[in-house]
Amino acid sequence: MTAAEVQGGLRDLLNEWDPIGVVDLELDEDPVQDEYDCLIPPLLDRLRRGADRTELRNFLYQELTDHFGLSHPYDVDGMAARLTAWWTSVPPQV
């Protein structure tokens, strides 16, 4: 799996989660859905260095409240679990 494929997989997870409700995965023209791309590099850094679910949850909570302005972040615990499970399926060379 290439680095671009890993980033694309993470983008897909974030877009499926869509905590601020802006991604339309049903669009026929398949537009670039990049609302959450700012989360990709810091999440990959954390995953590569072995961050646990708590660290991922805390990062997501902080980003959703500070950067995206949500007062009640949507299911950060569940997303941290999904990220951890997804990362274990990514080949180790990435």
Q: What is the pTM of this model?
A: 0.86
With beta carbons less than 8 A apart as the criterion, state whether 58 and 33 touch.
no
Give, in order, the Cα–Cα distances in Å from 28 to each of 11, 25, 31, 47, 72. Answer: 18, 9, 8, 32, 31
pLDDT for 26: 66
Instruction: Report mean pLDDT in 10-residue bins for the chain, 94 residues.
Output: 92 92 65 84 96 97 93 90 95 66
Among candidates 23, 21, 40, which has minimal Cα distance to 31? 23
pLDDT for 22: 82
pLDDT for 46: 97
